[in-house]
Chains A and B, each alone.
Chain A
Amino acid sequence: MHRHSTVAILVIPLLLIAVAVQLIGQVVLERITIVLFINLVMVLALQVYMGNSGVASFGHIAFMGIGAYASSLLSMTPEAKASALRSGYPLVEQIHVPFMPALLGGALIAALVAGVVGFPLMRLSGYGAVIATFAFLVIVHVVLIHWSEVTNGPRIIFGIEQLTTLWVTVALGLLAVVLSYWFRETSLGLKLRASREDEHAAASIGINIVIVRLVAFILSAFMTGVAGGLWAHFITIYSPIAFYLTQTFLIIMMLIVGGADSVSGAVVGTLLVTAIFEGLRATENAVNMSDLLPGSLAGFTEVLLAAAMIVLLIRRPQGITGGYEIRWQHIRGLFSRSADADQAALAPADREA
C-alpha cells in the first residue's frame, strides 16, 4: 500500500505551494509559480523519455516550440491572426477553437512529429542519439525562423490571449506527476527501464527496444507540447529564439540536478533550480538597480547555475535523489529512529530497483 506513496508525497507539497501562492496573492509570485509548474511539466516529460530510457535527448524543446506555435494558431481569432501574420493558408486563418482544444491540438501535432521523427531516431544510442536529437532541435529552430507564414519568422508573434491561469497550470502539472509515475510503473515503463540498465540483456528477453522507446518519446513530446501551449498563452508574445539552447539547458539541468532516473528527481530538481534561479535573479536585479557595482550583472545567474551544475556532475552525477523515488518509508525513517522504521525502510519487497 505504501509502495506508491510517492505520488502523494509529491502531489501534496505542490498543492500546498499553489494554495499558499493563491492566498498570498502577490502577482510576481503567481507568475513565478506558473512558470514553475510549466517547467515541471517539461522536466517530467523529459524524465519520461530520457530518465527511463537512459538516452539523452537534446531536442525536446523543439516540441515545446511546436506546441506553442500550433496551439497559438488554433486559439487566436482570425482577426488577430490577420494582423500578426501574413499567412497564405486559409485553413490556418479561419480556425479558432477554445483554450483546452487548442492546447490539446498543439500537443497532438507535437506528438505526431515525434512519431514520424522518432521511428528512425529511436534506433540510435549514445552519441548518435545526442547529435541526432540536437540536429532535430536545430532543424525545427530553422523551420520556425523561416516559415514566416505560420510563425511570423524570426520576429515576435503577438495577439495571443492570456488564457493560462495558475490553477490550470497547477492541475496540469499535478496530472503530469501522476502520469509520469504511472508510466514508469506500467509494463512498458519497466521494459524501458530494463533497456536502460542493459540494452542487450533486455533485447535478449524479447523487449522491442525501438517500440518501447518510441512510445515514451511520443508521450514525452505530447507533454512537452502541452507545456509549450501553456507557456505561449501565459507569455502571449514570443519568438523562435525562446525554443533553443537556453531553455534546453534549463530543463536538462533541472532533471539532472534532481536525479534523472526518478519522478521525484524531476520534481525536486525543478523546485530547487527554480528557487535558486529566482533567488539569484532577484539578487542580480537588486544589484543592478542599486548601482552598487559599475556595469550590469547580466548573465550572473546563468554563470552560477552552470558552475553549480558542473560541481554537482563531478561530485554526484546521479542527482539529489540518486534515481530513487521518495517513499513513505524514507520519510518515516527520517522522523523515528526505531528499529521497525529501519526494518521497513530496508525491506527488500519495497526496495526500488
Chain B
Amino acid sequence: MESTNQILQFLINALSLGGLYALMSLGLALVYSILRLVNFAYGELVMVGGYSLLVVGQAAAIPWLIIAGIAVFMAIVASLLLERIAFRPVREASANTMLITSFAVSTLLQNAALLIISPRARAVRIPSFFIENWTVGELLISKGNLLSLVVSLATLGLLTLFLRRTIMGSALRAAADDFVMTRLLGVRANQVIATAFAISGCLAGVVSLFWVGRAGSVVPSIGLTPVLIAFVASVIGGIGSLTGAVVGGYLLGFLTVALNTILPQRLLDFRQAFLFGIVILVLLFRPQGLISGAYSAERI
C-alpha cells in the first residue's frame, strides 16, 4: 500500500512536471524545426505571460480564467510582434546572425521589463487551488499539479489535432520537415512562420500560467529556467522533430522528479550541471536526439 502510494505520487508529479516541460520544449522546437532558429527570446514570452497576469490581475477584479486568457493572448501577440519586427528581416541571414539576434531580443525584453515594471520580484494573485491539496486516502495530490497535468495533456491533444487534421497544420508539419520544398509546393512562407510563432507564443503563455502558479511571483529573469529546460528537453528528445520535443519534455520531467527523490542533498545542487552534461553527451553521440527529425548539420 505504502509503495503504491509512493509510485502514484511519483507518477502524478512526474507527469505534471513532464507535461509542463513538454509544452516548453515544443514551443522552442516548433520554431527551430521550421526556421532553424534557436529562439533565446522564448523565455521572454513566458515572462510576458507572467507580467500580464501581474498587471491585469492588479488592475481589475475579474475572474482568474479571463486573466489567464489575456495572459496567453499577450504571449501570442508578443511572439507575433517578435517575428515581424526582429526575426523576419534576418530570416535570410546566417544562422549565427539569427541566433545572436534572438539573444539580443531576449536581453532587450528582460531589461525592458526591468525598466518598465520593476527589477524586484512582484507577487502575483493566483487562485487558491494552486496551493491546495487533495487528500485521496493516503495520497496528497496538489491541485495545481493535477491541473497542469490535465491542461498540458489537453493542449498537446488539441495541438496534435490541429497538426493532423487541418491544412495549416499539415503545412506546418511539412515545413518542419523540409521548408524549401514546402514553399516550392506553393505554401506561403510568411503564413506558416507566423502560425508557428503564434502557437509557440500560445504554449509559452500556458506555461507561464503554471510557472507563475508554482512560484507565486514574477521577476524579469523568470523566463531563463523555462528556456534552459526547453533546450535540454528538445536536444535530448530530438530537436528536429516535434514528437521528439514532447518525448524529451516528459523524459526530463521524469528524470527531474526521480533525481529529486534519489539524489542526496549535496549532489542535488549540481543537478542542473548534471542535466547539461547529458545535453553535451547527447549532442556528441546522438545529435539527432532520441527521435530523429529531418537531416540537420552533421558533426565532423
Contacts and interface: CB of A to CB of B under 8 A. Distances in A.
A128 B296 CA distance: 10
Interface stretch (B53-61, B101-109, B135-143, B171-179): B101-109
Nearest first, the 5 A-B pairs at minimum CB distance are: A306-B108, A299-B114, A299-B111, A299-B115, A302-B111
A107 interface: no
Given A299-B114, A299-B119, A146 B280 contact: no
Interface in B224-268: 224, 228, 231, 235, 239
A268 B152 CA distance: 49
B107 A120 contact: no
Contacts of B296: 126-127
A246 B107 CA distance: 8
Nearest to A317: B97
Interface of A: 54, 56, 120-121, 123-128, 130-132, 134-136, 138-139, 142-143, 145-146, 199, 203, 209-210, 245-246, 249, 252-253, 256, 297-300, 302-303, 306-307, 309-310, 313-314, 317
B83 to A, nearest CB: 13
B38 A123 contact: no
Q: Interface extent on B, as a size class?
A: 35 or more
A303 B111 contact: yes
Interface of B: 32, 36, 38, 86, 89-90, 93-97, 99-101, 103-105, 107-108, 111-112, 114-115, 119, 224, 228, 231, 235, 239, 269-270, 272-273, 276-277, 279-280, 283-284, 287, 296-297, 299-300
Contacts of B299: 123-125, 128
Instruction: Pick from A120, A127, A297, A300 the residue with the most CB of B within 10 Å.
Output: A127
A139 B296 CA distance: 25
B100 A313 contact: yes
A126 B115 contact: no
Contacts of B93: 313, 317
Given A127-B32, A300-B111, 20 more contacts: A121-B280, A123-B300, A125-B299, A127-B36, A132-B280, A132-B283, A135-B280, A143-B270, A252-B103, A253-B104, A256-B100, A298-B115, A299-B114, A299-B115, A303-B112, A306-B104, A306-B111, A309-B104, A313-B97, A313-B104
Contact of B105 (A123, A136, A306): A306
Contact of A131 (B94, B224, B231, B269): B231
A298 B300 contact: no
A299 B94 CA distance: 29
Contact of A56 (B99, B101, B239, B280): B99
Given A54-B96, A135-B279, A139-B277, A126 B297 contact: yes
